[in-house]
Amino acid sequence: MAKRLALCGVFCFAAANRPVVLVPGLTGSGLEVKQHAAAMPHWYCKKDTHDKWMKAWVDPVQALPGEVDCLIARLTLTYDAASDTYSNLANVELRALGWANGTGASGLTTVNSSYVNESYVNSVNSAHGLDLLYSYEFGPMLKKLESRGYALGKDVFLAPYDWRLAGDAHAQRKNGVGGYYQQLQQLIEEIVEASGQPAVVLSHSLGCPTMLHFFHLYVSEAWRARHIHGWLALSGPWTGGASQVMAYLGGWTLGLPSWLVPHDYVRPVQVNASSGVWMTPHPKGFGNRTLVVTPSRNYTAADMPDMVKLIGGEGWGRQTGSLFSKLQPSLAEIQSPPSGMHMESWYSTGVPTIEGLVYDTDLSEGFNQAPSKTIRGEGDGLVNLVSLSQVEKVWPSSTTTRVFANCSHFGILSDPRVLEALVEYLSEKPAPVFV
Ligand SMILES: *[C@@H]1O[C@H](CO)[C@@H](O)[C@H](O)[C@H]1NC(C)=O
Ligand SMILES: *[C@@H]1O[C@H](CO)[C@@H](O)[C@H](O)[C@H]1NC(C)=O
Ligand SMILES: *[C@@H]1O[C@H](CO)[C@@H](O)[C@H](O)[C@H]1NC(C)=O
Ligand SMILES: *[C@@H]1O[C@H](CO)[C@@H](O)[C@H](O)[C@H]1NC(C)=O
Ligand SMILES: *[C@@H]1O[C@H](CO)[C@@H](O)[C@H](O)[C@H]1NC(C)=O
Ligand SMILES: *[C@@H]1O[C@H](CO)[C@@H](O)[C@H](O)[C@H]1NC(C)=O
Ligand SMILES: *[C@@H]1O[C@H](CO)[C@@H](O)[C@H](O)[C@H]1NC(C)=O
């Protein structure tokens, strides 16, 4: 302590803010693409970005009917089980947009602002140049933090990632895909060094299993104890959610508003995504509940790999089937609080959430239909309560849980109760560490 005081000298009188790292959820990270003579499905798709990064996700123009095929091609993810290797489309490179400060350093953009709800964007935009997607998700939270003296890029940071991926690819960059954990570890080390204080990580949605894998399997207990003040895990789909089942069967917007992403446009991307396996109901949480009812067969969480192989067939069905075998067991193994650091699980309830789908026809290869009946139950509108509450139900009891009533999956990021709880948490004395 004395040494640290000596190092920071006069600046220590104005105590630095505890640094915060924000980890977004599924589809919550912007993506940029670099292409060189890539094979595109239509003549009008941009094939070459001339060595510049172009925003691919999420750009309202690219989600227009003609452009969506180009977008899907750019976000193609294939997995070869024999060599355990992921690939992008040939001659396409992808990276997360706005690392650390959320500003797109993009050389090219195709945003046509007449498609964007300017009044919404202006109401949440707190920093010049903050990407639209980050404004939508984190605008109100950043505004709140700014009112307490925080500044994006100085002591609050965005750590976006390739949301098609799960922990295996984040842990190891291979064939131009993955590598998020190394980048994240480096960012946290730098900001802890610069501020002289361990960081708070706030993750949302898919960001929760993403961080769970990082903490358990990528860094050591000593690293966690030194670098992490606490982890606030918001709306964690710890054992998946029935919404992902709807993504496999057709008709889910990934929870984003329709002005940002129209109806089920990126289904071909989501069915191939390894993160989709993490988002699928896991037998460990969902047990024997019936998720899908059809005339001749009902499907529970344990039947999800079969269902995916059936409807995805030799194309994505085989790929995603092998991803289930690879990724589901390890997700079950890490369901416990990481030692050496403090963790809190915050989630919301009170919004009807899809928990079952009823179809009048049997499933078959290529199936893509809206259900004849949707059964809804308790949750945050996107993730079922059974998954959100996994932490306090079955994890060892060292984790604090806070539940915010009447608040949605995305609403939790701007709910005044949550923002107040966040600034309170940030100003607390170091929390006890559970080893
Ligand atoms: C999905 O995976 C299949 C099988 O590897 C591949 O043929 C297809 O191009 C992929 N599509 C997308 C959008 O990733
Ligand atoms: C954000 O970070 C990028 C990449 O490090 C940098 O080029 C850019 O100047 C930064 N923008 C702001 C506003 O700090
Ligand atoms: C933006 O889109 C609108 C609606 O299609 C169109 O009229 C306008 O010309 C576009 N503007 C630019 C700069 O592309
Ligand atoms: C645009 O955003 C404003 C502010 O959030 C909202 O009141 C309005 O309904 C939105 N308009 C559309 C067309 O979505
Ligand atoms: C599901 O499991 C519960 C408890 O394990 C059991 O009571 C129930 O009968 C089972 N339901 C079905 C349909 O198998
Ligand atoms: C599927 O579940 C429904 C509702 O729980 C039930 O009525 C039906 O008999 C089940 N069908 C089969 C084939 O098990
Ligand atoms: C939640 O909303 C319902 C319906 O609007 C209301 O009756 C209930 O009191 C609300 N609960 C809380 C805790 O705000």
Find the 409 Cα to ligand 3 centroid distance in Å.
33
Residue 237: closest CA among 272, 277, 267: 277
Cα-to-centroid distance, 20 and ligand 7 (Å): 31
Distance of CA 110 from the midpoint of ligand 3 (Å): 11
Q: What is the pLDDT of residue 162?
A: 96
CA-proximal residue: ligand 3, atom 5 (nearest): 114
The answer to whether the beta carbons of residues 198 and 226 sit under 8 Å apart is yes
Summarised one tens digit per residue, pLDDT across range 240-273 is 999 899 889 876 655 565 555 555 677 888 899 9
Determine how β-strand 31-35 pairs with β-strand 92-96.
antiparallel
The single residue listed with the structure tokens 């131009």 is 176
Tokens of 315: 């194309």
Give the pLDDT of residue 173: 96
Q: What's the 407 CA to ligand 7 centre distance in angstroms?
A: 10
Residue minimizing CA distance to atom 4 of ligand 3: 114
The strand pairing partners of 342, in sequence order, are 230
Residue 377 CA to ligand 7 center (angstroms) comes to 16
Angle at 98 between CA 164 and CA 154, to 5 degrees: 130
Within 290-433, strands assigned E span: 292-293, 298-299, 342-349, 353-358, 373-377, 400-405
Cis ω on the peptide bond leading into residue 58 (within 30° of 0)? Answer: yes
Write down all domains in the chain, each with its CATH number in brackets.
Answer: 2-427 (3.40.50.1820)
| Probe target for ligand 6 pocket from 289, 290, 293, with the most ligand atoms within 8 Å of CB | 293
Each residue's pLDDT tens digit, 92-147: 999 999 888 877 544 334 333 444 445 554 544 444 567 778 888 898 999 999 99
> How many C-beta atoms lie closer than 10 Å to residue 364's C-beta?
10
Q: 380 in helix, strand or coil?
A: strand
**Do residues 334 and 363 touch, judged by C-beta distance below 8 A?**
no
Ligand 1 binding pocket mutation candidate from 68, 70, 270, 319 (most atoms within 8 A of CB): 319
Q: What is the pTM of this model?
A: 0.86
| 53 φ, ψ (degrees, to nearest 5) | -85, 135
The pLDDT tens digits for 40-89 are: 998 888 889 899 888 888 765 555 667 788 889 999 999 999 999 999 99
H or E stretch including 77? Answer: strand 77-80
Ligand 4 test: best mutation among 120, 121, 260, most atoms within 8 Å of CB? 120
Q: Tell which wins on pLDDT, 299 or 110.
A: 299
